[in-house]
Amino acid sequence: MKSLFRGILVTLYLLSGWSPVVAALPVAVDGQPLPSLAPVLRDVTPSVVNIYTQTRVRVRSPLLDDPVFRRFFNVPDAPRERVSQSLGSGVIVDAAKGYVLTNNHVIARADEIAVGLKDGRSLEAKLIGTDPDTDLAVIQIPAQSLTALQLADSDPLQVGDFVVAVGNPFGLGQTVTSGIVSALGRTGLRGLEYQNFIQTDASINPGNSGGALINLRGELVGINSAIFTPSGGNVGIGFAIPSSMARYVMDQLIRHGEMRRGTLGLFVQDLTPELAGAFAVDAGVGVLVAEVASGSAAADAGLRPGDVIVEVGGRPIVSAQDYHNAEGRLALGDKLGIEYLRDGTDRSAQLVIRSVPVLDGEELDSRLKGARFTELNARQKQENQSGVLLEELDPRSRLAYEGLAEGDIVTGVNRQQINNLADFTQALELTHRGILLQIRRNGRAYIARVE
Protein backbone atom coordinates (compact mmCIF):
# COMPACT_ATOMS: atom_id res chain seq x y z
CA MET A 1 0.00 0.00 0.00
CA LYS A 2 2.84 2.41 0.92
CA SER A 3 4.61 1.74 -2.36
CA LEU A 4 1.35 2.35 -4.27
CA PHE A 5 0.86 5.68 -2.47
CA ARG A 6 4.41 6.73 -3.24
CA GLY A 7 3.83 5.83 -6.86
CA ILE A 8 0.69 7.99 -7.05
CA LEU A 9 2.59 10.94 -5.56
CA VAL A 10 5.42 10.52 -8.06
CA THR A 11 2.93 10.34 -10.93
CA LEU A 12 1.12 13.50 -9.76
CA TYR A 13 4.48 15.23 -9.35
CA LEU A 14 5.54 14.38 -12.92
CA LEU A 15 2.14 15.20 -14.46
CA SER A 16 1.91 18.56 -12.74
CA GLY A 17 5.41 19.64 -13.68
CA TRP A 18 5.76 21.09 -10.19
CA SER A 19 9.29 21.88 -9.00
CA PRO A 20 10.51 23.19 -5.64
CA VAL A 21 12.64 25.74 -7.48
CA VAL A 22 9.57 27.76 -8.56
CA ALA A 23 7.76 27.68 -5.20
CA ALA A 24 8.49 31.41 -4.61
CA LEU A 25 6.03 34.15 -5.60
CA PRO A 26 5.94 34.70 -9.35
CA VAL A 27 7.11 38.02 -10.79
CA ALA A 28 3.75 38.47 -12.49
CA VAL A 29 0.15 37.35 -12.13
CA ASP A 30 -2.06 37.21 -15.23
CA GLY A 31 0.64 39.09 -17.06
CA GLN A 32 0.69 41.93 -14.53
CA PRO A 33 3.88 42.53 -12.48
CA LEU A 34 3.53 42.32 -8.70
CA PRO A 35 3.71 45.68 -6.88
CA SER A 36 7.16 46.49 -5.47
CA LEU A 37 8.87 49.45 -3.84
CA ALA A 38 12.22 48.39 -5.24
CA PRO A 39 12.23 50.79 -8.25
CA VAL A 40 11.46 53.77 -5.98
CA LEU A 41 14.02 52.77 -3.36
CA ARG A 42 16.77 52.35 -5.95
CA ASP A 43 16.53 56.10 -6.49
CA VAL A 44 15.98 57.04 -2.83
CA THR A 45 18.49 55.02 -0.81
CA PRO A 46 21.66 56.70 -2.19
CA SER A 47 20.33 59.95 -0.69
CA VAL A 48 20.00 58.58 2.87
CA VAL A 49 23.23 58.51 4.89
CA ASN A 50 24.45 57.06 8.16
CA ILE A 51 25.85 59.56 10.67
CA TYR A 52 28.41 58.73 13.36
CA THR A 53 29.53 61.27 15.95
CA GLN A 54 32.14 61.51 18.68
CA THR A 55 31.93 63.90 21.63
CA ARG A 56 34.73 64.47 24.11
CA VAL A 57 33.38 64.98 27.62
CA ARG A 58 35.53 66.30 30.45
CA VAL A 59 35.47 64.01 33.47
CA ARG A 60 35.66 65.92 36.75
CA SER A 61 36.08 64.78 40.32
CA PRO A 62 35.91 67.05 43.40
CA LEU A 63 39.14 65.44 44.65
CA LEU A 64 40.97 66.50 41.49
CA ASP A 65 40.14 70.13 42.30
CA ASP A 66 42.22 69.85 45.47
CA PRO A 67 45.86 70.78 44.69
CA VAL A 68 47.12 68.92 47.79
CA PHE A 69 45.41 65.69 46.63
CA ARG A 70 46.82 66.08 43.12
CA ARG A 71 50.35 66.70 44.41
CA PHE A 72 50.23 63.83 46.93
CA PHE A 73 49.09 61.28 44.35
CA ASN A 74 51.09 62.87 41.53
CA VAL A 75 47.94 63.48 39.45
CA PRO A 76 48.66 65.63 36.37
CA ASP A 77 46.83 68.93 35.99
CA ALA A 78 45.52 68.06 32.51
CA PRO A 79 41.76 67.34 32.61
CA ARG A 80 40.67 63.80 31.86
CA GLU A 81 38.30 63.10 29.00
CA ARG A 82 36.05 60.31 27.87
CA VAL A 83 34.73 59.89 24.35
CA SER A 84 30.99 59.51 23.84
CA GLN A 85 29.78 58.03 20.54
CA SER A 86 26.35 58.12 18.93
CA LEU A 87 24.75 57.26 15.63
CA GLY A 88 21.85 58.40 13.49
CA SER A 89 20.78 59.10 9.95
CA GLY A 90 20.53 62.01 7.54
CA VAL A 91 19.20 62.97 4.12
CA ILE A 92 21.16 64.62 1.30
CA VAL A 93 19.04 67.60 0.21
CA ASP A 94 21.52 69.40 -2.05
CA ALA A 95 23.90 67.25 -4.12
CA ALA A 96 25.72 70.21 -5.68
CA LYS A 97 26.69 71.73 -2.30
CA GLY A 98 26.71 68.59 -0.14
CA TYR A 99 24.05 69.70 2.36
CA VAL A 100 22.62 66.98 4.61
CA LEU A 101 19.50 67.43 6.75
CA THR A 102 19.33 65.57 10.06
CA ASN A 103 18.13 65.89 13.67
CA ASN A 104 19.77 68.29 16.08
CA HIS A 105 19.95 65.61 18.77
CA VAL A 106 21.98 63.38 16.43
CA ILE A 107 24.89 65.84 16.17
CA ALA A 108 24.39 68.07 19.26
CA ARG A 109 27.74 69.01 20.88
CA ALA A 110 29.60 66.56 18.62
CA ASP A 111 33.32 67.20 18.15
CA GLU A 112 33.56 64.94 15.10
CA ILE A 113 30.86 64.05 12.58
CA ALA A 114 31.36 61.28 10.02
CA VAL A 115 28.89 60.44 7.25
CA GLY A 116 28.65 57.00 5.65
CA LEU A 117 27.21 56.78 2.14
CA LYS A 118 25.50 53.79 0.59
CA ASP A 119 28.39 53.31 -1.84
CA GLY A 120 30.73 52.68 1.09
CA ARG A 121 32.41 56.07 1.31
CA SER A 122 32.98 57.68 4.71
CA LEU A 123 33.23 61.47 4.70
CA GLU A 124 33.99 64.06 7.35
CA ALA A 125 31.13 66.53 7.81
CA LYS A 126 31.06 70.20 8.80
CA LEU A 127 28.27 71.64 10.94
CA ILE A 128 26.31 74.39 9.15
CA GLY A 129 23.65 75.18 11.74
CA THR A 130 21.21 73.75 14.29
CA ASP A 131 17.72 74.54 15.54
CA PRO A 132 17.01 72.82 18.88
CA ASP A 133 13.44 74.19 18.91
CA THR A 134 12.49 71.94 15.96
CA ASP A 135 15.24 69.32 16.47
CA LEU A 136 16.71 69.97 13.01
CA ALA A 137 20.28 70.51 11.84
CA VAL A 138 22.20 70.90 8.58
CA ILE A 139 25.69 69.50 8.00
CA GLN A 140 27.85 69.58 4.87
CA ILE A 141 29.98 66.92 3.17
CA PRO A 142 32.23 67.13 0.09
CA ALA A 143 29.92 67.37 -2.95
CA GLN A 144 31.27 64.54 -5.07
CA SER A 145 28.93 62.14 -6.90
CA LEU A 146 26.06 62.70 -4.48
CA THR A 147 22.35 62.09 -5.00
CA ALA A 148 19.81 64.43 -3.39
CA LEU A 149 16.27 63.63 -2.34
CA GLN A 150 13.49 65.89 -3.55
CA LEU A 151 11.42 67.57 -0.83
CA ALA A 152 7.67 67.28 -1.26
CA ASP A 153 4.99 69.48 0.26
CA SER A 154 3.85 67.61 3.37
CA ASP A 155 0.71 69.73 3.85
CA PRO A 156 -1.49 67.56 1.53
CA LEU A 157 -0.67 64.36 3.49
CA GLN A 158 -3.69 62.47 4.78
CA VAL A 159 -4.15 59.80 7.41
CA GLY A 160 -3.89 56.49 5.60
CA ASP A 161 -1.32 57.56 3.01
CA PHE A 162 1.45 54.99 2.52
CA VAL A 163 4.93 56.06 3.64
CA VAL A 164 8.36 54.44 3.86
CA ALA A 165 11.07 55.09 6.48
CA VAL A 166 14.74 54.79 5.53
CA GLY A 167 17.53 55.01 8.12
CA ASN A 168 20.23 53.34 10.18
CA PRO A 169 18.48 51.62 13.13
CA PHE A 170 20.76 50.35 15.89
CA GLY A 171 23.75 50.99 13.59
CA LEU A 172 22.86 47.97 11.47
CA GLY A 173 23.20 49.93 8.23
CA GLN A 174 20.65 51.23 5.81
CA THR A 175 17.22 49.73 6.52
CA VAL A 176 13.81 50.26 4.90
CA THR A 177 10.44 49.87 6.65
CA SER A 178 6.95 50.72 5.44
CA GLY A 179 3.64 51.80 6.94
CA ILE A 180 1.01 54.48 6.75
CA VAL A 181 0.41 57.95 8.12
CA SER A 182 -1.31 57.17 11.43
CA ALA A 183 -2.07 60.76 12.45
CA LEU A 184 -1.14 64.35 11.66
CA GLY A 185 -0.41 67.41 13.78
CA ARG A 186 0.86 65.46 16.76
CA THR A 187 2.26 67.50 19.69
CA GLY A 188 3.29 66.94 23.28
CA LEU A 189 6.94 65.88 22.94
CA ARG A 190 8.99 67.49 25.71
CA GLY A 191 11.77 69.95 24.94
CA LEU A 192 10.57 71.17 21.54
CA GLU A 193 8.88 74.52 21.01
CA TYR A 194 7.52 73.94 17.49
CA GLN A 195 5.64 70.67 17.03
CA ASN A 196 3.48 69.42 14.19
CA PHE A 197 4.58 65.82 13.85
CA ILE A 198 3.53 63.18 11.35
CA GLN A 199 2.77 59.96 13.23
CA THR A 200 3.50 56.72 11.39
CA ASP A 201 3.52 52.99 12.11
CA ALA A 202 6.50 52.44 9.80
CA SER A 203 9.11 50.88 12.11
CA ILE A 204 11.40 53.58 13.54
CA ASN A 205 14.06 52.62 16.07
CA PRO A 206 17.08 54.27 17.73
CA GLY A 207 19.45 55.24 14.91
CA ASN A 208 16.61 56.09 12.51
CA SER A 209 16.66 59.67 13.82
CA GLY A 210 17.35 62.10 10.99
CA GLY A 211 16.43 59.58 8.30
CA ALA A 212 13.88 59.95 5.53
CA LEU A 213 10.15 59.43 5.55
CA ILE A 214 9.11 59.26 1.88
CA ASN A 215 5.89 58.90 -0.07
CA LEU A 216 5.40 56.30 -2.81
CA ARG A 217 6.78 58.72 -5.40
CA GLY A 218 10.11 58.70 -3.59
CA GLU A 219 9.78 62.26 -2.30
CA LEU A 220 10.77 63.41 1.19
CA VAL A 221 7.69 64.18 3.29
CA GLY A 222 9.31 64.04 6.73
CA ILE A 223 12.48 63.69 8.83
CA ASN A 224 12.18 60.80 11.30
CA SER A 225 12.73 62.22 14.75
CA ALA A 226 11.32 60.27 17.68
CA ILE A 227 9.41 57.22 18.85
CA PHE A 228 6.98 56.53 21.63
CA THR A 229 8.13 53.37 23.37
CA PRO A 230 7.84 51.82 26.83
CA SER A 231 10.60 49.32 26.00
CA GLY A 232 13.21 51.23 23.98
CA GLY A 233 12.20 49.59 20.69
CA ASN A 234 9.58 50.15 18.04
CA VAL A 235 5.93 49.70 19.04
CA GLY A 236 4.41 51.21 15.91
CA ILE A 237 4.32 54.84 17.07
CA GLY A 238 6.94 56.96 15.35
CA PHE A 239 7.10 60.70 14.71
CA ALA A 240 8.55 62.66 11.79
CA ILE A 241 9.04 66.40 11.28
CA PRO A 242 6.99 67.49 8.22
CA SER A 243 9.03 68.49 5.18
CA SER A 244 7.21 71.84 4.99
CA MET A 245 8.65 72.79 8.39
CA ALA A 246 12.02 71.20 7.59
CA ARG A 247 12.36 73.18 4.36
CA TYR A 248 11.85 76.52 6.13
CA VAL A 249 14.32 75.69 8.91
CA MET A 250 16.87 74.28 6.45
CA ASP A 251 16.78 77.41 4.29
CA GLN A 252 17.40 79.63 7.33
CA LEU A 253 20.25 77.47 8.63
CA ILE A 254 21.98 77.42 5.26
CA ARG A 255 21.52 81.16 4.74
CA HIS A 256 22.37 82.39 8.24
CA GLY A 257 23.87 79.45 10.14
CA GLU A 258 21.09 79.84 12.71
CA MET A 259 17.36 80.40 13.04
CA ARG A 260 16.44 84.08 13.12
CA ARG A 261 12.97 83.94 14.56
CA GLY A 262 11.04 86.85 15.90
CA THR A 263 7.87 87.35 17.86
CA LEU A 264 4.54 89.11 17.66
CA GLY A 265 4.58 89.67 21.42
CA LEU A 266 1.50 87.60 22.24
CA PHE A 267 1.15 84.94 24.92
CA VAL A 268 -1.84 82.74 24.15
CA GLN A 269 -3.65 79.77 25.66
CA ASP A 270 -6.12 77.18 24.47
CA LEU A 271 -9.80 78.00 24.70
CA THR A 272 -11.49 75.56 27.05
CA PRO A 273 -15.29 75.13 26.70
CA GLU A 274 -15.71 77.25 29.84
CA LEU A 275 -13.53 80.07 28.49
CA ALA A 276 -15.21 79.89 25.09
CA GLY A 277 -18.57 80.38 26.74
CA ALA A 278 -17.28 83.29 28.79
CA PHE A 279 -15.96 85.05 25.68
CA ALA A 280 -19.01 84.17 23.56
CA VAL A 281 -17.10 82.16 20.94
CA ASP A 282 -17.46 78.59 19.72
CA ALA A 283 -15.27 76.01 21.46
CA GLY A 284 -12.35 74.85 19.34
CA VAL A 285 -12.18 78.10 17.39
CA GLY A 286 -9.10 80.24 18.00
CA VAL A 287 -6.84 80.84 21.00
CA LEU A 288 -7.18 83.31 23.85
CA VAL A 289 -4.69 86.15 24.27
CA ALA A 290 -3.50 85.96 27.88
CA GLU A 291 -0.82 88.66 27.74
CA VAL A 292 0.55 91.25 25.31
CA ALA A 293 4.22 92.20 25.69
CA SER A 294 4.74 95.92 26.06
CA GLY A 295 6.44 97.54 23.06
CA SER A 296 5.71 94.54 20.86
CA ALA A 297 4.20 94.48 17.38
CA ALA A 298 0.94 93.15 18.84
CA ALA A 299 0.78 96.00 21.38
CA ASP A 300 1.38 98.58 18.64
CA ALA A 301 -1.42 97.00 16.59
CA GLY A 302 -3.87 97.41 19.47
CA LEU A 303 -4.33 93.77 20.53
CA ARG A 304 -5.09 93.19 24.18
CA PRO A 305 -5.77 90.35 26.65
CA GLY A 306 -9.13 88.70 26.03
CA ASP A 307 -8.91 88.87 22.24
CA VAL A 308 -9.36 85.54 20.44
CA ILE A 309 -6.91 84.86 17.57
CA VAL A 310 -8.55 82.79 14.82
CA GLU A 311 -6.10 83.18 11.92
CA VAL A 312 -2.41 84.05 11.50
CA GLY A 313 -0.94 84.70 8.07
CA GLY A 314 -3.86 82.97 6.40
CA ARG A 315 -3.54 79.83 8.57
CA PRO A 316 -6.52 78.83 10.76
CA ILE A 317 -5.64 78.70 14.46
CA VAL A 318 -7.42 76.21 16.71
CA SER A 319 -4.81 75.64 19.45
CA ALA A 320 -1.93 77.39 21.16
CA GLN A 321 0.46 74.99 19.38
CA ASP A 322 -1.00 76.09 16.02
CA TYR A 323 -0.21 79.68 16.96
CA HIS A 324 3.36 78.84 18.03
CA ASN A 325 3.97 76.91 14.80
CA ALA A 326 2.62 79.74 12.64
CA GLU A 327 4.73 82.33 14.48
CA GLY A 328 7.80 80.08 14.32
CA ARG A 329 7.68 79.88 10.52
CA LEU A 330 8.08 83.63 10.16
CA ALA A 331 11.38 85.45 9.76
CA LEU A 332 12.35 88.84 11.15
CA GLY A 333 10.71 91.65 9.21
CA ASP A 334 7.95 89.47 7.74
CA LYS A 335 4.55 91.15 7.52
CA LEU A 336 1.41 89.20 8.15
CA GLY A 337 -2.25 89.64 8.87
CA ILE A 338 -4.02 88.48 12.02
CA GLU A 339 -7.74 87.83 12.26
CA TYR A 340 -9.24 87.97 15.75
CA LEU A 341 -12.46 88.37 17.69
CA ARG A 342 -13.19 90.99 20.31
CA ASP A 343 -16.56 91.05 22.05
CA GLY A 344 -17.92 88.82 19.28
CA THR A 345 -16.83 91.24 16.52
CA ASP A 346 -14.45 90.23 13.72
CA ARG A 347 -11.30 92.34 13.59
CA SER A 348 -8.00 92.25 11.72
CA ALA A 349 -4.53 93.76 12.04
CA GLN A 350 -1.24 93.88 10.13
CA LEU A 351 1.90 93.10 12.14
CA VAL A 352 5.64 92.93 11.51
CA ILE A 353 7.76 90.22 13.14
CA ARG A 354 10.28 91.75 15.56
CA SER A 355 13.35 90.26 17.21
CA VAL A 356 13.16 88.63 20.63
CA PRO A 357 14.90 90.73 23.34
CA VAL A 358 18.31 89.23 24.17
CA LEU A 359 20.79 90.17 26.90
CA ASP A 360 24.48 89.32 26.88
CA GLY A 361 25.47 88.04 30.32
CA GLU A 362 28.59 90.17 30.50
CA GLU A 363 26.47 93.30 30.04
CA LEU A 364 24.72 92.33 33.28
CA ASP A 365 27.73 91.12 35.26
CA SER A 366 31.25 90.06 34.30
CA ARG A 367 30.71 86.75 36.11
CA LEU A 368 28.01 85.89 33.57
CA LYS A 369 30.38 86.15 30.61
CA GLY A 370 29.67 83.57 27.89
CA ALA A 371 25.90 83.47 28.59
CA ARG A 372 22.96 84.90 26.65
CA PHE A 373 19.52 85.32 28.22
CA THR A 374 16.13 85.86 26.56
CA GLU A 375 12.52 86.21 27.62
CA LEU A 376 10.55 82.99 28.03
CA ASN A 377 8.47 81.95 25.05
CA ALA A 378 4.78 81.23 25.47
CA ARG A 379 5.18 77.52 26.24
CA GLN A 380 7.95 78.08 28.77
CA LYS A 381 5.96 80.87 30.39
CA GLN A 382 3.01 78.51 30.72
CA GLU A 383 5.13 75.74 32.28
CA ASN A 384 7.41 77.86 34.49
CA GLN A 385 5.18 80.87 35.26
CA SER A 386 8.14 83.30 35.33
CA GLY A 387 11.84 83.68 34.73
CA VAL A 388 14.36 84.19 31.91
CA LEU A 389 15.85 81.60 29.56
CA LEU A 390 19.56 80.77 29.44
CA GLU A 391 19.58 80.53 25.65
CA GLU A 392 23.31 80.14 24.94
CA LEU A 393 26.23 79.19 27.17
CA ASP A 394 29.93 78.85 26.44
CA PRO A 395 31.01 75.45 27.88
CA ARG A 396 34.21 77.12 29.18
CA SER A 397 32.32 79.83 31.07
CA ARG A 398 31.95 80.23 34.82
CA LEU A 399 28.24 79.40 34.72
CA ALA A 400 28.98 76.16 32.85
CA TYR A 401 31.62 75.32 35.48
CA GLU A 402 28.94 75.80 38.15
CA GLY A 403 26.72 73.26 36.38
CA LEU A 404 24.31 75.48 34.44
CA ALA A 405 23.29 74.45 30.92
CA GLU A 406 21.56 75.89 27.89
CA GLY A 407 17.80 75.73 28.34
CA ASP A 408 17.87 76.41 32.10
CA ILE A 409 15.26 78.85 33.41
CA VAL A 410 16.51 81.44 35.92
CA THR A 411 13.55 82.01 38.24
CA GLY A 412 15.25 84.03 40.97
CA VAL A 413 18.34 86.02 41.95
CA ASN A 414 19.36 86.12 45.62
CA ARG A 415 15.91 84.88 46.64
CA GLN A 416 14.16 87.58 44.60
CA GLN A 417 11.65 86.27 42.06
CA ILE A 418 12.42 87.00 38.39
CA ASN A 419 9.57 87.48 35.92
CA ASN A 420 11.39 88.89 32.88
CA LEU A 421 14.64 90.41 31.64
CA ALA A 422 13.88 93.75 33.29
CA ASP A 423 13.55 92.04 36.70
CA PHE A 424 16.74 90.07 36.03
CA THR A 425 18.70 93.21 35.19
CA GLN A 426 17.40 95.08 38.24
CA ALA A 427 18.15 92.20 40.62
CA LEU A 428 21.73 91.92 39.38
CA GLU A 429 22.28 95.67 39.77
CA LEU A 430 21.43 95.30 43.45
CA THR A 431 23.88 92.40 43.87
CA HIS A 432 27.30 93.36 45.24
CA ARG A 433 28.70 90.04 46.44
CA GLY A 434 27.96 86.45 45.37
CA ILE A 435 25.15 85.74 42.91
CA LEU A 436 22.69 83.09 44.07
CA LEU A 437 20.70 81.84 41.07
CA GLN A 438 17.51 79.83 41.40
CA ILE A 439 17.24 77.51 38.41
CA ARG A 440 14.46 75.33 37.02
CA ARG A 441 15.41 72.48 34.72
CA ASN A 442 13.04 69.76 33.45
CA GLY A 443 10.56 70.54 36.20
CA ARG A 444 13.13 70.45 39.01
CA ALA A 445 14.56 73.34 41.05
CA TYR A 446 18.27 73.92 41.62
CA ILE A 447 20.43 76.61 43.24
CA ALA A 448 23.80 77.73 41.88
CA ARG A 449 26.19 80.18 43.51
CA VAL A 450 28.47 82.28 41.31
CA GLU A 451 31.33 84.10 43.09
pLDDT digits (tens, 9 = 90+) for 163-201: 999 988 887 788 899 999 999 988 777 667 778 899 999
- Distance in angstroms (rounded) separating the CA atoms of residues 287 and 104: 30
Could you give the C-alpha distances from 236 to 195, 203, 208, in angstroms and in order? 20, 6, 14
Which stretches of 283-438 are DSSP H helices? 297-300, 320-328, 361-364, 378-384, 398-401, 421-429
Residue 181: predicted pLDDT: 94
Question: Is the dihedral angle over the CA atoms 293, 295, 298, 302 positive or is it negative?
Answer: positive
Q: Which residues are catalytic?
A: 105, 135, 209
Contact present, 91 and 50 (Cβ < 8 Å): no
Per-residue pLDDT tens over the stretch 293-335: 777 888 888 998 888 999 988 888 888 888 888 887 777 788 8
Residue 75: predicted pLDDT: 56
Q: Give one DSSP letter per residue of 287-319, joined into a string.
A: EEEEEE-TTSHHHHTT--TT-EEEEETTEE--S
Contact present, 437 and 448 (Cβ < 8 Å): yes
Query: Residues 6 or more apart from 335 whose CB is under 8 A from it?
Result: 350, 351, 352, 353
- Distance in angstroms (rounded) separating the CA atoms of residues 437 and 49: 43
Q: In the chain, pLDDT over 90 holds for what percent of residues?
A: 24
Q: Give one DSSP letter per residue of 223-253, joined into a string.
A: EEEEE--SSSS--S-EEEEEHHHHHHHHHHH
Which domains, and CATH codes, for the chain? Answer: 44-140 (2.40.10.10), 162-256 (2.40.10.10), 262-355 (2.30.42.10), 358-450 (2.30.42.10)
pLDDT in tens, the chain (451 residues): 444 434 433 333 333 444 444 445 556 666 667 778 888 999 999 999 999 998 876 665 555 555 555 555 565 555 566 777 788 899 999 999 999 999 999 998 888 999 999 988 999 999 999 988 889 999 999 988 999 999 999 989 999 999 999 988 887 788 899 999 999 988 777 667 778 899 999 988 888 889 999 999 999 999 998 777 666 666 788 899 999 899 989 998 998 888 877 788 888 888 888 887 777 777 778 888 888 877 788 888 899 888 899 998 888 888 888 888 888 777 778 888 899 998 888 899 988 888 777 777 777 777 888 888 888 776 666 665 678 888 888 888 888 888 888 888 898 888 888 888 888 888 887 776 778 888 888 778 888 888 7
Contact present, 197 and 239 (Cβ < 8 Å): yes
Residue 65: predicted pLDDT: 53
Residue 388: predicted pLDDT: 86
Contact present, 373 and 359 (Cβ < 8 Å): yes
Helices and strands per DSSP (H, E), number in the chain: 12, 30
Residue 363: predicted pLDDT: 76
DSSP state of 423: H
Phi-psi region of 302 (alpha: psi -120 to 50; beta: other; left: phi over 0): left
Nearest residue to 390 (alpha-carbon basis) of 366, 428, 421: 421
